[in-house]
Amino acid sequence: MGRDKTDARKGLIWSTFGKVLNAGLKFLSVPLLLNHFGEEKYGLIALALSIDIYLKIMDLGFNTGNVRFISHWLAKGKANSIVKLVEASQLFYGIVGLINFSILVVLAFFSGQIFNLDPESSEILQKLILIISVTALFSWFFATTSHILNAYKRIDFNEKLSMVTNILIFAGVLITIGLNLSIAQYFLVYSLSIIVPIPLRILKIKTLNDSISFIPRWNKEIFLEVFSYSIGIFSMGFFQMSAQNLRPIILGIQAPITAVTEFKIIEQVAAIIIMLTSSFLSVLLPFATKYKSEGNVEAQRKIAFDVTRYLSVFIVLLVFGLISISSPLIEVYVGKKYVHLSFWLNIWALTLLGSHNAALSSLILAGSNIKKISYFTAISSTLSILIAWFLAPIYSVGGVVIAFSVYILFQMIFYYIYYIPNIMNFNSGKIFVNSFLYPVIIGTGAYFISLVISNILGFQNPYLLIMFNGTLFVALYTSMTLCTTLKLKEIKYLLVD
């Protein structure tokens, strides 16, 4: 496990750094683009990107399926099966890319009828979607390159290329402002930035396995084996992604376009937490798959109990740290006009505590018994979408935040009441209390203590509030955590051994 731990730590460090950089650059981009294009036009950019993100659902779970099976076959030494899977995936993603292109073209020409837009805004959105449709052809066809690198545990290289993409996108924002580019020209620069790393991924893969070909070929047996697994992931992922990524689209249909702008503001403030938690699952999955294949029960148990506790400690730090500075942060970020969004930002941040189950999710996805959780995810996601649809006209951005909170709550209940004890055969009560609840209680206590001290001192300057509240909470939470749930020797084990 020593080599695996080194690879996992290396991948996690680069993944974490990459996600933080991405979130940071996006965080800076929002006020820049908002000031340059205005509230309504920025809402159109956010809506177009949201449509593109949601259509990633057409992956049908093959992202996870490819990583899982390539990791499994690497452990078993089945190099020929890997080659056949990549070829079949190329054919699959090529077809998906063409379908995606067609859907986007249709959406572009009917955008005025679908979304709550005036004629001028509808014409702009049409241009943006058409630009995305062309870029999607390339990104879909070479989607497999990221899967292969992750399965080969070259997560650090993958993340470095993602960092290059994000830097190019941010550079595009600066160029747009400096040269006063139009919204369509900005979107073209954005789209080209996404394509740049593809050749570098292909070259790296060739150094890992020069027998891998990116020429599409139909391999029925291999494809169906992965498809039977992936379709289960898709059934869960479809509704999960719908509950998460349909929110700005629902706002674009049910509320003014400015509501999409407000959504994107609080989304980018919460983006660091979102990005960091999404990294954990992708990093842990190859190792969880290996331990499942080897039947290493002790390693699986460590993931379920210990890694969940480590993740909870870190996520609680992020969530309550953000809540402690949310109001002054919004004011500094985009102005007093948007400070009222801090309430919904806090609700959103609390829902992100549900991301502590990333370690458990990696074990679930590494296995094949996902049918029941897929069914329940479908139910909770559908309920969340319905709630968002009916609450968006009333509470605007708050409606979709409430809806997603319901989804996260239902998922946590299902995990702890049914799935963990009955399917995974772990003590769910022990995991919930020791690995999740204790860090949450400590975080809550540290937050309220820091809030009381801050109110007594009565600082008014938003910059001072951010520095004081944030520093005080981190100091209190870290001290209380080291005295209770996390020991120094565990930190040394994670970072050094």
pLDDT at 85: 82
Tens of pLDDT along 63-87?
777 887 888 777 777 777 778 888 8
Q: Is 461 left (phi over 0), alpha (psi -120 to 50) or beta?
A: beta
Which pLDDT belongs to residue 125?
A: 92
And the tokens for 480? 């209380």
Distance CA 314, CA 243 (A): 25
**pLDDT: is 246 or 221 the higher one?**
246
pLDDT confidence band for 236 (50 / 70 / 90): low
Query: CA–CA separation, 451 vs 5, rounded Å?
Result: 39
Residue 214 is classified by DSSP as: -
Per-residue model confidence as pLDDT tens digits over 31-65: 999 999 999 999 999 999 999 888 888 877 777 77
* % of the chain surpassing 90 pLDDT: 38
Amino acid in position 84: K
How buried is 458 (Cβ within 10 angstroms: 0-12 exposed, 13-18 middle, 19+ buried)? exposed
8 A C-beta contact, residue 121 and residue 183: no
Token duo for residue 445: 């206590």
Q: How far is residue 381's CA from residue 234's CA, in Å, rounded to a whole number?
A: 13
Domain boundaries of the chain, sorted by first residue: 2-495
Q: Are 325 and 247 in contact (CB under 8 A)?
A: no
User: Which region among 36-50, 170-184, 285-299, 328-342 has the lowest average model confidence (pLDDT)?
Assistant: 285-299
Mean pLDDT, the chain, integer: 84
pLDDT at residue 490 tops 60: no
Rounded to 10°, the helix 2-37/39-54 angle is 150
Q: What does the pLDDT look like over 353-409, one tens digit per residue?
A: 988 887 777 777 776 666 777 788 888 989 999 999 999 999 999 999 999 999 999
Average pLDDT over residues 448-461: 91
Mean pLDDT of 472-482: 92
What's the whole-number mean pLDDT along residues 131-155? 83
pLDDT of 347 strictly over 50: yes
User: How confident is the model at residue 487, as a pLDDT?
Assistant: 64
**Separation between Cα atoms, residue 437 and residue 439, nearest integer Å:** 6
> pLDDT, tens digit, for every residue of 222-235?
788 787 777 766 76
> Over 60: is that where the pLDDT of 489 sits?
no
Mean pLDDT of 470-477: 94
Residue 1's pLDDT band, with cuts at 50, 70 and 90, is very low
How confident is the model at residue 207, as a pLDDT? 82
**pTM recorded for the entire structure:** 0.81
What's the pLDDT band for 496 if we cut at 50, 70, 90?
Answer: very low
C-alpha closest to that of 54 among 250, 334, 269: 250
Segment 97-116 shows an average pLDDT of: 91
CB 236 within 8 A of CB 374: yes
pLDDT of residue 494 exceeding 60, the answer is: no
Among candidate residues 296, 294, 412, 299, the one with its CA nearest the CA of residue 361:
412
pLDDT in the model for residue 10 = 63
